[in-house]
């Protein structure tokens, strides 16, 4: 993106290997400045992002429609633990085969370094417990009110989670958008208030008073002043006034995690002074508290690393500033980096040998990404800070179980999908096919396994993913010749054959256009375009 478009186009024409961010490629494709017709291999890193409107999705569509023999290699260390989401990634990137590798596989183990996982548990002080009791009582009142109106009929109030409330809020908003009203407005206001209280409780338990106060001032108060009924009701609640009283008493009292964090950092630097450490936290306000606290440790040279967006009372970092900080960490100017989620993906800092989670994350993808920032050049360590009897404990075990479930799911999908294999000595030339692979880890090349029996083929595996040579040409021809009115496929095929389009290429291309929603089959044997010209 730093290069102007004319320079990028020039480089694209003459380069043999191109390394680019997907947004740049998508934009240049949309502007008609580049073509993927001559690209022999498309490699997609962090492939789990290939969902929704992310640039990978459009690039993959353009690639398989333009290239005569498209070949896609998709790589990710964290595809996710949801089967439907993994299948969606496979569909979006036209995956035919999944190759799974873990740390224990014999073709991976020699090339990686072990990462030791550890955790430190802390207890909330009594001053924090008083605030927590008020917030819990406020939350329970709202949940009971929601239950009296029909929400969460089978759950105890204490078992209703923030996720449950968010889901209810989305459903209510959808109904309001459809024109429903009446009591739904009151129900939504109560739900919004409950979500905010649950969030305050989470901030108190997992982050600290400073981060909680920042949320109250920057969100609750400002929203109430702007007319939010939900947040006005919170500010008017006597229990909230009591909570503010206890917050005032606890002013200046850091979360016990800060003390535990300083202990971990000191122990690491005492045992290995040349260490580089990466501290992850969910919130910028917490990052400020951590940075200020690290100043009291001798030998610590810390810097913050956040995204580019500026927020209330917090200026973002430009891309150039981010690069300067990373280079300073690599060279030893800094030895500790305090980062938000912006550092979870895409950073390669081999010098980092210890990663600290200020809080657990309930996502298996983010857990793996955070953990994967260490152990790249030498053995690494990852330490998770956990507040006892809090959301921290729940989030930690959720992420652990999801990682295990993800590995089991990938093994199952690996067995279910047919593996494409080209014979070493075929009796007659085989028609080229797209062989796309979703790899769990980048590893040394291995010969593809034998294809399983047909009965093992997954039901969701699309029959249109077998591409014949010349399919790109056929796709372009069909996009220009698809009729607006229903027409017999045989008639269209005759015309294609007369113009030099092969039957196999025609059938494969037509299948792709149907799958992409460009072509439509109104009834068997007929076809038409969904794009009126």
Same domain, 261 and 388: yes
Same structural domain for residues 225 and 289?
no
Distance separating alpha carbons of residues 111 and 119, to the nearest angstrom: 26
Task: Indicate whether 347 belongs to any domain.
Answer: yes
CA atoms of 334 and 10, how far apart (whole Å): 38
Same domain? For 169 and 264 the reply is no
Residue 516 is part of a domain; what is its CATH number?
Answer: 1.10.10
Residues 198 and 151 in one domain: yes
Question: CATH number, domain at 316?
Answer: 3.40.50.300
Are the C-beta atoms of 378 and 301 separated by less than 8 Å? no
| Listed residue (326, 254, 328) closest to 292, CA to CA | 254
**pLDDT for 431:** 41
Q: What is the dihedral of CA 327, 331, 337, 340, to 10 degrees?
A: 20
Cβ(124)–Cβ(118) below 8 Å: no
Query: Among residues 249, 283, 315, which one ends one of the domains?
Result: 249
Please state the pTM of the whole predicted model.
Answer: 0.71
| pLDDT at res. 85 | 87
Same domain, 386 and 263: yes
Residues 132 and 243 reside in one and the same domain: yes
> Pick from 220, 249, 278: which residue ends a domain?
249
Do residue 262 and residue 347 come from a single domain?
yes
- Residue 525 and residue 480 in contact, taking contact as beta carbons nearer than 8 Å: no
pLDDT at 466: 40
* 3-state SS assignment for residue 272: coil
pLDDT value for 434: 40
* Residue 77 covered by a domain: no
For residue 178, what is the DSSP state?
T
In a domain, 403, yes or no: yes
Same domain? 402 vs 282: yes
Q: Is residue 369 part of a domain?
A: yes
Q: What is the pLDDT of residue 480?
A: 83
Residue at token pair 């001798």: 298
Secondary structure class of 265 (helix, strand, coil): helix
283 inside domain: yes
Residue with tokens 């993800």: 406
CB of 291 closer than 8 Å to CB of 301: no
Name residues whose C-beta falls within 8 Å of residue 352's C-beta, 6 or more positions apart in sequence. 276, 277, 278, 329, 337, 373, 374, 376, 380
In a domain, 426, yes or no: no
Helices (H) and strands (E) in the chain, counts: 19, 13
Are 343 and 198 members of one domain?
A: no
How high is the pLDDT of residue 452?
Answer: 37
CB burial readout 240-270, b (16+ within 10 A) else e: bebbeebbeebeeebbbbbebbbebbeebbe
528 is a domain residue: yes
Q: In this predicted structure, what is the pLDDT of residue 242? A: 98
Looking at the structure of the chain, the number of domains it has is: 3
- 355 in Cβ contact with 383 (< 8 Å): yes
Same domain, 217 and 296: no
pLDDT in tens, the chain (533 residues): 678 999 999 999 999 999 999 999 999 999 999 999 999 999 999 999 999 999 999 999 999 999 988 999 999 988 887 888 888 999 999 988 888 888 888 888 888 889 999 999 999 999 999 999 999 999 999 999 999 999 999 899 999 999 999 999 999 999 999 988 888 999 999 999 999 999 999 999 999 999 999 999 999 999 999 999 999 999 999 999 999 999 999 998 999 999 999 999 999 999 999 999 999 999 999 999 999 999 999 999 999 999 888 877 778 899 899 999 999 999 999 999 999 988 887 777 888 999 999 999 988 889 988 998 998 888 899 999 999 999 999 999 998 888 888 888 887 876 665 544 333 433 444 444 443 334 332 333 333 333 333 332 333 334 333 444 466 788 778 888 888 888 888 889 989 898 888 887 888 788 777 766 677 777 667 788 865 44
Question: What burial letters (b/e) apply to 469-478, b meaning 16+ CB within 10 Å?
Answer: bbbbbbbebb
Identify the domain boundary among 360, 392, 407.
407
75: DSSP letter: E
For the packed helices 256-271 and 284-294, what is the interaxial angle rounded to 10 degrees? 50
Residues 222, 330, single domain; the answer is no
Cα separation, 345 vs 368, whole angstroms: 10
129/135 Cα distance (integer angstroms): 10
Question: In 10 A of CB 169, how many CB atoms?
Answer: 16
Q: For 63, list phi and psi in degrees, rounded to 5.
A: -65, -50
- Residue 317 included in any domain: yes
Instruction: Give me the domain span that covers residue 472.
Output: 468-533
Query: Could you tell me if 474 and 532 lie in one domain?
Result: yes
255 DSSP 8-state letter: -
């Amino acid at each position: 993106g730093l290069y102007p478009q004319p320079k990028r186009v020039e480089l694209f024409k003459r380069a043999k290997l191109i390394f680019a961010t997907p947004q740049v490629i998508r934009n240049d494709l949309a502007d008609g400045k580049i073509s993927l017709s001559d690209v022999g291999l498309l490699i997609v890193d962090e492939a789990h992002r290939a969902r929704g409107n992310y640039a990978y999705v459009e690039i993959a569509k353009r690639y398989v429609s333009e290239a005569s023999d498209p070949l896609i290699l998709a790589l990710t260390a964290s595809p996710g633990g949801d089967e439907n989401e993994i299948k969606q990634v496979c569909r979006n990137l036209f995956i035919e085969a999944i190759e799974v590798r873990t740390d224990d596989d014999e073709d991976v183990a020699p090339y990686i370094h072990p990462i030791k996982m550890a955790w430190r548990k802390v207890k909330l002080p009594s001053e924090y417990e008083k605030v927590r009791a008020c917030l819990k009582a406020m939350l329970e009142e709202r949940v009971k009110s929601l239950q009296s109106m029909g929400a969460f009929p089978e759950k105890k109030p204490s078992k209703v989670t923030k996720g449950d409330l968010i889901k209810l809020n989305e459903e209510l908003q959808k109904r309001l958008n459809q024109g429903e009203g009446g009591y739904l407005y009151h129900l939504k206001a109560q739900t919004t208030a409950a979500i905010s209280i649950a969030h305050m409780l989470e901030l108190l338990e997992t982050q600290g008073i400073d981060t909680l106060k920042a949320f109250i001032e920057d969100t609750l108060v400002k929203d109430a002043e702007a007319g939010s009924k939900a947040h006005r009701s919170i500010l008017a609640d006597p229990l909230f006034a009591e909570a503010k009283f206890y917050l005032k008493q606890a002013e200046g009292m850091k979360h016990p995690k800060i003390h535990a964090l300083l202990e971990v950092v000191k122990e690491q630097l005492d045992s290995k002074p040349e260490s580089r450490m990466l501290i992850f936290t969910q919130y910028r306000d917490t990052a400020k508290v951590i940075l200020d606290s690290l100043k009291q440790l001798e030998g610590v040279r810390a810097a913050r690393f956040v995204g580019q967006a500026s927020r209330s009372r917090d200026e973002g970092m430009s891309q150039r500033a981010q690069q300067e900080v990373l280079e300073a960490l690599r060279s030893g100017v800094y030895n500790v980096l305090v980062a938000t989620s912006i550092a979870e993906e895409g950073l390669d800092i081999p010098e980092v040998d210890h990663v600290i989670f200020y809080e657990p994350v309930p996502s298996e993808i983010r857990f793996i990404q955070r953990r994967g920032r260490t152990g790249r050049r030498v053995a690494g360590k990852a330490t998770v800070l956990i507040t006892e009897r809090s959301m921290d404990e729940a989030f930690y075990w959720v992420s652990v179980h999801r990682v295990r479930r993800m590995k089991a799911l990938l093994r199952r999908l690996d067995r279910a999908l047919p593996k494409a294999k080209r014979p070493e000595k075929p009796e007659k030339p085989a028609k080229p096919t797209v062989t796309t692979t979703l790899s769990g880890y980048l590893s040394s090349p291995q010969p593809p396994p034998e294809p399983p029996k047909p009965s093992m083929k997954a039901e969701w595996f699309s029959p249109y993913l077998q591409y014949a040579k010349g399919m790109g040409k056929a796709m372009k021809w069909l996009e220009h010749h698809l009729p607006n009115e229903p027409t017999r496929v045989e008639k269209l095929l005759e015309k294609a054959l007369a113009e030099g389009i092969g039957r196999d290429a025609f059938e494969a291309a037509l299948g792709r256009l149907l799958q992409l929603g460009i072509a439509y089959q109104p009834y068997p044997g007929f076809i038409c375009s969904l794009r009126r010209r």
